[in-house]
Amino acid sequence: MEFDIAVIPGDGIGPEITGEAVKSLEAVGRKFGHGFSFQYVDMGGCAIDKYGVPLPEETLNICRESDSVLLGAVGGPKWDTLPGSLRPEAGLLGIRAGLGLYANLRPAVLYRALKGACPLKPELTDDGFDILFVRELTGGMYFGARGRKKTDGGEAAFDTEQYSVFEIERIGRVAFNLARQRGKKLCSVDKANVLESSRLWRETIHRLKEEYPDVACTDMLVDNAAMQLVRNPGQFDVIVTSNMFGDILSDEASMITGSIGMLPSASLGEGSFGLYEPIHGSAPDIAGQNRANPIATILSAAMLLRVSLKLEAEADALERAVQKVLDSGLRTADIMSEGCTVLGTAEMGAAVRAALDEG
Ligand code: NAD
């Protein structure tokens, strides 16, 4: 089969990690007889430098016309002093909204081979964990009204958290359906003891619950969820939450998997189209040094194969290749532990492709 993939390398380590993910897709294509055509487009700091805006219209159009999008990461200190709407991160929010991607899926899995890189006490992760975060992506405080005003106490700033029943039901259904395909447990995270938007969130999830009697659905306050993730991560199956809470909790979960360099994500709207990216940022501190871990981006490519292109066997093969490389003791610096061999970005990508070819 033939597929058109838009690739947004972005800034910092973005070009290095997307480079390895593209090569892994090409290797999958060779092995399984598919053709991928990749169209490279600009977003983020590099787009600001070239076009003066973080998300050129042409980038959005090419993404819309593709079967799906692979993204590295955007941002960096060079653009940190620009006004909010012109910063690289505005490109991220713009592309999510522009492509109607309201559901962000972030799996956080503790690989057996990486147990040593998990900062929790070994007895807390004896049974491992496999959590799927379902984060609402186009609402809440990141998209609500914001501004500054004069008050008696001097200048003040505000950001607004707002959710409609439509938005909560829409993300809730994605989460309930995914829980149905997994361990049939859904935890809805909110701050209903304080926030009105969370009280509406909770009421709406409770109404939806009636439609999914086979899924055990519980509520948890976000502060407790932050604690439970490091106390007993194995208790969670699927977690559904708002844009901001999901952003913070999934980064916490990434740390207990051993490295932020391991976690992929998918952003979905209606239909099979999606945008796939690692959950980490552009890591300017290690950019251009062949030190970045490409696995989160390679696993994002595997999610792209499975979710958007419906190539289940191909996705499994790529994920198995990653597992095999880790089991054989090969590591990038961020997940290095005693007795293992450290590789650079390009060498790790090559090792995954070799494992794919062998497997
Ligand atoms: P970051 O995720 O880029 O880096 C945090 C730490 O993790 C750094 O020490 C970095 O070296 C390390 N790290 C990240 N990815 C790694 C990888 N693949 N391999 C090895 N180590 C890795 O977060 P930050 O430093 O807070 O942000 C840097 C820039 O990225 C900022 O401009 C921020 O706005 C942007 N950002 C972009 C995205 C995105 O594009 N989706 C997400 C988060 C942050």
For residue 162, how many C-alpha atoms fall within 13 Å in the half-sphere facing its CB? 7
Q: Which atom of ligand 1 is nearest to the CA of 278?
A: 41
Q: At what angle are helices 312-327 and 295-303 packed, to 10 degrees?
A: 160
Query: Could you read off the pLDDT of 114-162 as tens digits, one per residue?
Result: 888 888 998 888 888 999 999 999 999 999 999 999 999 999 999 999 9
Active site annotation includes 159: no
Active site annotation includes 251: yes
DSSP-assigned letter for residue 77 = G
Q: Which of 341, 296, 317, 342 is nearest to 111 (CA)?
A: 296
The answer, yes or no, to whether residue 350 has pLDDT greater than 90, is yes
% of the chain with per-residue pLDDT over 70: 100
Torsion of CA 210, 211, 215, 217, to 10 degrees: -40
Protein residue closest via CA to atom 42 of ligand 1: 281
The answer, yes or no, to whether residue 359 has pLDDT greater than 90, is no
Active site annotation includes 324: no
Query: Could you read off the pLDDT of 43-66 as tens digits, one per residue?
Result: 999 999 999 999 999 999 999 999
For residue 262, how many C-alpha atoms fall within 13 Å in the half-sphere facing its CB? 29
For residue 55 the two structure tokens come to: 């998300």
Q: Which of 174, 178, 73 is nearest to 131 (CA)?
A: 178
Q: How confident is the model at residue 84 (pLDDT cuts 50, 70, 90)?
A: confident
The binding-site residues of ligand 1, defined as CB within 6 angstroms of any ligand atom, are 13, 73-76, 89, 92, 260-261, 277, 280-286, 292-293, 296, 334
Average pLDDT on 332-355 reads 95
Contacts (Cβ under 8 Å, ≥6 apart) of 85 = none
Average pLDDT on 245-264 reads 90
pLDDT of residue 151: 96
The answer, yes or no, to whether residue 318 has pLDDT greater than 90, is yes
Taking phi over 0 as left and psi of -120 to 50 as alpha, with beta for the rest, 41 belongs to: beta
Active site annotation includes 50: no
Q: Which of 20, 38, 55, 21 is nearest to 276 (CA)?
A: 21
Q: Report the distance separating Cα 225 and Cα 238, nearest Å.
A: 12
- pTM beyond 0.95: the answer is no
For the chain, the average pLDDT equals 95
Q: How confident is the model at residue 271 (pLDDT cuts 50, 70, 90)?
A: confident
**111, 142, 163, 212: the active-site residue:** 142
Q: Which of 210, 186, 211, 191 is nearest to 201 (CA)?
A: 191
Other residues' Cβ atoms within 10 Å of the Cβ of residue 42 = 23
For residue 198, how many C-alpha atoms fall within 13 Å in the half-sphere facing its CB? 17
**Pairing mode of beta strands 2-10, 35-40:** parallel
Active site annotation includes 357: no
Q: Which residue has the higher pLDDT, 336 or 194?
A: 194
Q: At what angle are helices 345-358 and 312-327 packed, to 10 degrees?
A: 120
pLDDT of residue 118: 86
Query: Could you read off the pLDDT of 215-254 as tens digits, one per residue?
Result: 999 999 999 999 999 999 999 999 999 999 999 999 899 8
Q: How far is the CA of 318 from the centre of ligand 1 (A)?
A: 24
Q: Report the distance separating Cα 21 and Cα 27, nearest Å.
A: 10
Cα separation values, 6 from 65, 246, 252, Å:
9, 26, 29
For residue 159 the two structure tokens come to: 């950001």
Taking phi over 0 as left and psi of -120 to 50 as alpha, with beta for the rest, 317 belongs to: alpha
CA atoms 10, 16, 20, 26: torsion sign:
positive
pLDDT of residue 287: 98
Query: Could you read off the pLDDT of 29-45 as tens digits, one per residue?
Result: 999 999 999 999 999 99
